Structure 1
Amino acid sequence: MPDTASRPDTPQAPSALCRPLATALARAGLGAGIAGMHPMADTGLAHHHLWLDREDDDWVARLPKQSQMRLDPAANLAYQAACFTRASRGGHAPALHGLLPPGPELPRGGLLVDAIRGRPARLPEDLPRLAEALASLHTLAVPEAPERAPLLSPADPWAAMREEVGEQAHFLDQAELSDEARRLIEAELAALPRRLPPGPSAEPRLISFDAHPGNFLVTEDGRAVLVDLEKCRYGLVGFDLAHASLYTSTTWDLTSRAELTPAEVAAFYRHWIAATSYEGEVETLLACRRAMWLWSLTWCAKWRASHRRARDTEDRGEDWSEALSDDALIAHVRERVDHYLSVAAIEHVRREHRELQRLLSP
């Protein structure tokens, strides 16, 4: 969910992060050349960000609040480092410059990556740019299976996604849904196919798994850059295409919010197909779209059931406690979660899915 980085005019994140970051930078031997640091707006549930002014290219420090991958602090940093290292090879993601190990100052450590000067994505006009950025990931060579670690690389990405959605669906019981919303979600879960037909779209590629439009910045030269790469894995490209264009994604982030028409979404898919030269099997891509939507809905149920818990003071793995984030961010997430779990929003996405199937079918 939201986790972007563009330098603000007025710092809004806690300035208390500056001192421990400076100490951690010095301890790691990475403080040379840093002329200043600026806490950035608290826009994500997983990280704080600080902009670092340097003599050459600026950096952004990504300081984890938690691990959405349920990893301990050191493993979480190693995972994210691999995400940035591999994704940046495609030219549409920040490069990694350093790692700050977990320590007394920063219990979860941090990463140092390229600072991207850009604006939030504007939809629908930037959809082709987002498609090209995703294509830069999806067309990278895939390493042999033993070389894909530490990134997730399930033997059957579709079965793994079904399992992940099913695990999150256990939170539906605690999410205080209306009877009709629960019925509709259960029907959609039951409609997920057990298997996908073979083809290029069913083969594992490097994917972001967090490609909602709020995670992109567009540079002056018109290049879309995916700035949040915490959850990369070797999975199905259809998950990324869905996350970039679903109603639950395009209406999430305040800076890039837009409600796309099915025709605009279909054009986005076609642009990606042209950029990758994949045939783009419609059945598989739309199955992935339904699965990604259900992943988002069940995540909403999980967050609703989890965010009022006390913060994990031992800074271990996953932690959705509202104590970790700004009150305004929590209020925004709560409003979006309530909306997406409403019958009106669920019916909206179901109608869009039917129309998209008509537009993309041969």
Structure 2
Amino acid sequence: MPNSLVARLQAALSLAGRHHDIHSIRLMDDTGLAHHHLWLSRDGDDWVARLPKQSQLGLDAQANLTYQSACFARASESGHTPMLQDVLPPSDALPRGGLLVAAIRGRAARLPDDLPAIAEALAGLHALQMPPRAQRLPLHAPDNPWSAVCKEIETQARWLAEADLDPVVRKSIEAELNALPDTLPEAESKLISFDAHPGNFLITDTGQAVLVDLEKCRYGLPGFDLAHASLYTSTTWDLNSRAVLEVDEVVEFYRHWQRAMGEEPSAQSSRATLLACRRAMWLWSLTWCAKWRAQHGKTRDASVIGEDWSAELSSDALVDHVRERVEHYLTPSIIERVKAELSDLNDALAQSRE
């Protein structure tokens, strides 16, 4: 696969007329279920090629590239994401095409030390001016972002029945799903990552946090990003940035984001809204775990269209890591741990400022 993938990228670059100033191509570690990444050494600044293994949004190859290129183009205005350089269209060499983005030299996030930098990066994204409604496409831009995420969770939850879960775990998840509120206080949509776990950030030599994975951006509630950056199921996912946060560290993360946004607690960042988004993001992650557990043993989709969680698309080491994390998160003790943290965080946020 490595030599074949490099050769296929070289062929696609040549077809696009982008091969002249590239000196070498290096396959990077296989760390994600959605993309292969290759480092392109070239005259001037280096690039990274992001070659989709699948579309997590269920899109065909061209629509997936269009969506992802919009994510990078719009998020780069924050100054905390890589710049989009070019798009490689689907071809015989690369059936799903690829994106070329500016390479970011940095290290993995260290928690909790880098939480302020992550909060500032997210604030930079969330502070971007919303475009007029007609200009928000192709990004997902639901009129009611809370209801839209709840619907996604409900759809993923259908896999609970096929994931062969411990009955106690399934019952606990279903009880939490039933506890989600039908509505939230009025909260303004912003451009969000919807994939802001700490493993998706690199920290530069200047201490800036750069969010390097942007394929799932949408217009939604910032609380989803804040949750994804600080939940137990996020901070313990990536091997290089793994950490368990204390409640007071999470509180300060939220407060640092509020200060970076230049706001006081409001409908946008009230305790009720932030905690509801946190619970929903956790349940989104748990139902995704059930979905992956049920689907990863399937044969890869030969049509290379849409979503595909087949383990055949990733290295054995990555699949083993994902399996270990999924099994860990879907245990009674860890579910109770996160539930207790939600309760403690509610109390801590109420005491710190409301």
Shorter-chain TM band: over 0.9
Structure 2 residue aligned with 1:260? 245
Q: Number of aligned residue pairs: give it.
A: 347
Q: Does 1:332 align with 2:321?
A: yes
What is the SS of the residue equivalent to 1:69? coil
Structure 1 residue corresponding to 2:261, chosen from 276, 281, 290: 276
Structure 2 residue aligned with 1:48? 36
Question: What's the TM-score, normalizing by structure 1?
Answer: 0.95
Q: Matches of 2:171 and 2:161 in 1, distance apart? A: 12
Structure 2 residue corresponding to 1:38, chosen from 10, 26, 33: 26
Structure 2 residue corresponding to 1:308, chosen from 272, 297, 300: 297
What is the SS of the residue equivalent to 1:35? strand
Structure 1 residue aligned with 2:286? 297
Q: CA deviation at 1:15?
A: 2.7
Q: Does 1:219 align with 2:204?
A: yes
Structure 2 residue aligned with 1:15? 3
- Is the Cα–Cα contact under 8 Å of residues 30 and 98 in structure 1 kept in the other structure? no
What is the SS of the residue equivalent to 2:286? helix
Q: Does 1:354 align with 2:343?
A: yes
Amino acid at match of 1:347: E
Q: Matches of 1:21 and 1:261 in 2, distance apart? A: 44
Amino acid at match of 2:125: L
Structure 2 residue aligned with 1:164? 152
1:76-225 alignment runs, 5 A limit: 76-198=64-186, 202-225=187-210
Name the % identity. Answer: 62
Q: Matches of 2:216 and 2:346 in 1, distance apart? A: 28
Amino acid at match of 2:50: R
Cα shift readout 1:154-177 (whole Å, capped 9, x = no counterpart): 010000011000000000001111
Q: CA deviation at 1:324?
A: 0.2
Query: Does 22-31 or 291-300 show the bigger shift?
Result: 22-31
Q: Does 1:72 align with 2:72?
A: no
Q: CA deviation at 1:32?
A: 2.2
Query: Does 278-287 or 128-137 show the bigger shift?
Result: 278-287
Cα shift readout 1:57-82 (whole Å, capped 9, x = no counterpart): 00000000000010000000000000
What is the SS of the residue equivalent to 1:264? helix
What is the SS of the residue equivalent to 1:217? strand
Cα shift readout 1:47-66 (whole Å, capped 9, x = no counterpart): 00000001100000000000
Q: Does 1:233 align with 2:221?
A: no
Q: CA deviation at 1:254?
A: 0.2
What is the SS of the residue equivalent to 1:252? coil
Q: Matches of 2:51 and 2:166 in 1, distance apart? A: 37
RMSD over equivalenced CA pairs, Å = 0.7
- Is the Cα–Cα contact under 8 Å of residues 24 and 105 in structure 1 kept in the other structure? yes
Q: Matches of 1:67 and 1:285 in 2, distance apart? A: 28
Q: Matches of 2:188 and 2:163 in 1, distance apart? A: 34
List structure 1 segments (4+ residues) > 4 angstroms apart after TM superposition. Answer: none
Structure 1 runs not aligned, ≥5 long: 1-12
Q: Matches of 2:270 and 2:3 in 1, distance apart? A: 49
What is the SS of the residue equivalent to 2:39? strand
Amino acid at match of 1:273: Q
- Is the Cα–Cα contact under 8 Å of residues 210 and 231 in structure 1 kept in the other structure? yes
Structure 2 residue aligned with 1:250? 235
Cα shift readout 1:221-270 (whole Å, capped 9, x = no counterpart): 10000000000000000000000000000000000000001111111000
Q: Matches of 1:18 and 1:330 in 2, distance apart? A: 22
- Is the Cα–Cα contact under 8 Å of residues 209 and 233 in structure 1 kept in the other structure? yes
